[in-house]
Structure 1
Amino acid sequence: MSPGSDVYRPYPEAEGVWTYLEERFGMDRLDFAEHRLWQRGERKGVWLLHREAEPPTDLKVDWPGLALLRQPLPRGFPTNAFLRRFGHLANANCFDVDWDTALRLMYNHQLEREPLDERGGPYIVRSPLATLGRGWVRHGRLVLDTPKAWVNQLLPRTELAETE
């Protein structure tokens, strides 16, 4: 059998990840008490799964849960997918914007903003309707890490919303 799910193991540095989320974003580690972190062999990604779930050992699984980090800390940072799912739990290092501003950010516009701390990010960018994901302040401008497919998907949806 080729390397498959049987190479996933509980992530040994989980405590550091929970501490990072708590210190960076003010996320309470108790909110993740029902979850565990996994890593596949020597690969860099760290995955979040419900505590009762484990990657199966009898078939190959490339994505066993929600990708939390693409590479381990300290160089890694939370994925957009993780922040969109859990960003509402954060109470630090967040930019809360109105919906019009959120749309501009999703279309790759940049906003003049000062960093909230000396690191310059990552930050969580949220609107009243949803958490948009990860943002950075570079040279006094807030930039959203926008997936390339968003711009193509947004235009038809926003036009549809205007006609309803």
Structure 2
Amino acid sequence: SPSVFLTTWYTGLFAVDDGDALNAAYWERLIDVREAVSKRLEQARVAGDIGSSLDAEVNVYCDGELAADLGRLGNELRFFFITSYARVHPFAAAPADAETLSMNGQSLVVQVTPSTHGKCVRCWHHREDVGHNAEHPELCGRCVENAFGAGEERRFA
């Protein structure tokens, strides 16, 4: 290779569709949602419900293009929001008393709750599988796999 900057160092990366699905507009829409989530996280932190964003679980209620956009990240949505869990639900399932936001002409509800799961000492995520491995009782299953196994496969975040 003519330059260190043009050299491929790692060949195990996933192929990502560079078409319309993951263009700049897609990421701008996701960043708008993340800003709404961050606002709710800060409100929960100020109220004393959580200490940090990793102490929280986020439920996003939306439909249509917004739900599809968030769904593309799958389980990695929690890494994008920097929370222990992030789930997307149909807008109709949103709590009746929740504040509805408008995001690019679509309705959205963001619900932040403190996690009730144990905290992993390695990654600080609150996970239901913390302590399930007898050899590593303070680690979550993801950290056991990353530290002592083949490691997780991530695509986006």
Q: TM-score, normalised by structure 1?
A: 0.30
Higher strand share: 1
Relative contact order higher in (CA < 8 Å, ≥ 6 apart): 2
Q: So what's the TM-score if we normalise by structure 2?
A: 0.31
Comparing both structures, which one devotes a greater share of its residues to helix? Answer: 2
